[in-house]
């Protein structure tokens, strides 16, 4: 599946993931707009344990 758009949001999430600080990130929006897919796309290249 190809991920289209949301480049700014992806950049913000990836910046937080790359930070050495303990940070929180809230992703919110209407239902069925792709919040979960956005997070999955941002985590694709992260080497970490991901708990669903």
Q: Which of 46, 30, 27 is nearest to 38 (CA)?
A: 27
**Contact between 9 and 38 (Cβ < 8 Å):** yes
Does residue 45 surpass a pLDDT of 90? Answer: no
Residue holding tokens 């970490």? 48
- pTM attached to this predicted model: 0.78
Count other C-beta atoms under 10 Å from residue 42's C-beta: 22
Span 8-27, pLDDT tens digits? 999 999 999 999 998 889 99
> Quick one: pLDDT at residue 1?
60
How high is the mean pLDDT of the chain? 88
Band (pLDDT 50/70/90 cuts) for residue 32 is: very high
């Amino acid at each position: 599946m190809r991920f289209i758009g949301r480049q700014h949001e992806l950049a913000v999430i990836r910046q937080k993931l790359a930070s050495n600080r303990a940070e929180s990130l809230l992703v919110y929006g209407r239902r069925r707009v792709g919040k979960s897919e956005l997070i999955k796309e941002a985590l694709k290249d992260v080497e970490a344990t991901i708990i669903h």
